[in-house]
Structure 1
């Protein structure tokens, strides 16, 4: 980099209105994409928890579910999915912007921030996701019960009420540890890989081509889409084992005891192949989710007049 080591640099001072815009954009992009992916998520979850479907492809498993239960079965859990990822998405995206700015402030100067940018991305995505998952966990538990237990409830309200009545706080947060194990690697893949994909593109261009790229909406769309797809693949692979265990835990599988011991037993029972059951359809789903979220997030931020996020890419 051409800047002098230790030289302070400008860190944007986001206002409450800015973070409200980040939350709104994150909430809408997450609920729109996760809601649209509900049919794929239903099939993926059923492949994970139903022994009769574990060896089937996404298409074949979907056909069997529709044949046995009707097309409406593919929309099971839409309510908790939409509401859960509305609050989780808002918390995650706003949290990432908040913690990235604060970790950059701790670094103190541009050279240090760029040098430790990987740690900043990992830390910001992890901490932001942790707090977002506190909001998500009860709704995710409700969704999995609705998907995996036919007739469990008629929808979000009745499913959430039954879960709260029969299991209380303990059952509602039974999946908190596995959901952290799933969502934190997911967020790391989503944000960190996306950041480095953008950096790789920009570092490969001359200054003239960078300006041309920034002026071309179609070219930026292509970069954002490609980066989001790659980040989605990474997020799916990193979080797949915990996603499988989360479905098993919320289904009630595994021995009694501490959550950590249950996870170890279930992981041993599933084996490598079982932990990655449903990875193919989940990679397709996640690539669509992540790329769609970044594209929608940027558009909504622009519409709301929100500032751009803080960038700490290495220039050369």
Structure 2
């Protein structure tokens, strides 16, 4: 509060030379000016308004946070994804990851490392909206369904059920863009140099059904991935805070998002291992499924060709890629939540 002398104090200081009406007027104006400044300062520096938990606004912000978390992060690691997909389709194409980068730059140019960037950005932005937004919705709804006590007792089961449900729908949004991405990345020279020409070209060639031919293996890859991602993250964050003094609320938003990044990176490592065989199969099916062949026939034929060992091609690259992007996703997601006035994810001590 800014201090300003009263009329009596002014009068005693300046004596009878200062008329009463002038003193009163000056005091009134000064206090009005001070009040105005204080109100403006409070308006400018006030924190973001508190968003009611589990309100429509809460779920809207979680959905927006998922878009910001998934689209840009997946697009950023496009070079790693490009190499991974090509090595999954043809393990003899490059001698190593380093050889792959060098070969691509030498033969196709440095910009070729970002082949599939547009489809990745759009597809995973859609997927992020479904993954994070619907996860929060299902987690809340399932907790309401089973009751508070059971939800608290079997919280890992709640995380698994909510994340599986969310990913089921998120993959429907992702699938056509994933098909375009894989086709673009694994065709040499690339199927198209822009997502705006690649999507209509793929749609004309394969039809909408063709763009969804990889949905079943995508579910097989992404649903276990997301279940591990959310359940591992939630429990890892709790474990981290259990090792720290004080409560989660005692730490700054910056420290809390740092914990989110660490928990996300650890979760990403587990995700990569669990989902990698299905990830290989998604790439293979999108590039090697024959006309008139059922999904089961295609997967059986492809497995007969590559064997169990072939399902693990590119795992090292994918661990680095998935660990990094999963950590960054949780960092961006919780940073966005903190910015709009939501609490960061997880972390209540046992």
> Is residue 143 from structure 1 mapped to residue 181 from structure 2 by the alignment?
yes
**Two-structure CA RMSD over aligned residues (Å):** 2.1
What do the CA deviations read for 1:104-133 (whole angstroms, capped 9, x no partner)? 1122123x1122212111111111011011
The one of 77, 81, 88 aligned to 1:48 = 88
Q: Which of 1 and 2 has greater Rg?
A: 2
Q: Name which of 161, 165, 169 aligns with 1:127.
A: 165
Is contact 2:229-2:270 (8 Å) kept? yes
**CA-to-aligned-CA distance 1:88-147 (integer Å, 9 cap, x gap):** 10111001111111111122123x112221211111111101101111000000011110
Distance 1:127 1:217 in 2: 29
Q: For residues 256 and 169 of structure 1, what CA distance do their matches in structure 2 show?
A: 15
Change (3 A) 1:229 1:151: closer
What is the rounded CA distance, in whole Å, between the counterparts of 1:220 and 1:116 in structure 2? 25
Deviation at 1:221, TM superposition (A): 4.1
In 2, the alpha carbon distance for the partners of 1:164 and 1:214 equals: 52
For 2:229, which of 186, 190, 208 is the aligned residue?
190
CA deviations on 1:186-226 (whole Å, 9 max, x unpaired) are: 11121111011112223345xxx133773245543442222
Counterpart for residue 25 of structure 1: 65
Q: 2:238 and 2:53 mapped to 1: Cα distance?
A: 23
For 1:68, the equivalent position in structure 2 comes to 107
What SS does the corresponding residue of 1:152 show, helix, strand or coil? Answer: coil
Query: Residue 226 of structure 1 aligns with which residue?
Result: 262
- Choose the corresponding residue for 1:271, options 292, 307, 331: 307
Residues 1:16 and 2:52 are matched in the alignment: no
Q: Secondary structure at the match of 2:246?
A: helix
1:1-316 equivalences under 5 Å are 14-53=54-93, 56-110=95-149, 112-149=150-187, 150-205=189-244, 209-211=245-247, 214-217=250-253, 219-253=255-289, 256-307=292-343, 315=350
* C-alpha distance in 1 between matches for 2:219 and 2:296: 12
In structure 1, C-alpha distance between the alignment counterparts of 2:102 and 2:274, rounded to whole Å: 28
Aligned length: 298
**Structure 2 vs 1, CA of residues 231 and 204 (structure 1 numbering), >3 Å: closer, same or farther?**
same
How far apart in 2 are the matches of 1:230 and 1:154?
A: 35
The structure with higher relative contact order (CA 8 Å, sep 6+) is: 1
Moved more, 222-231 or 97-106: 222-231
**TM-score w.r.t. length of structure 2:** 0.80
Structure 1 unaligned segments of length 5 or more: list them.
Answer: 1-11
Residue of structure 2 in register with 1:9 after alignment: none
Return the alpha-carbon distance in structure 2 between the equivalents of residues 274 and 17 of structure 1. 46
**Structure 2: distance between partners of 1:221 and 1:17:** 21
CA drift at 1:287: 0.7
Distance between the aligned counterparts of 2:74 and 2:202, measured in 1?
22
- Residues in 2 aligned to 1:60 and 1:244: alpha-carbon distance in whole angstroms: 20
Task: Call closer, same or farther: CA 1:260–1:114 in 2, change over 3 Å.
Answer: farther
Contact 2:184–2:192 under 8 Å retained in 1 = yes
Displacement of 1:15 after TM fit? 2.0
- Whether contact under 8 Å (1:179, 1:242) holds in the other structure is yes
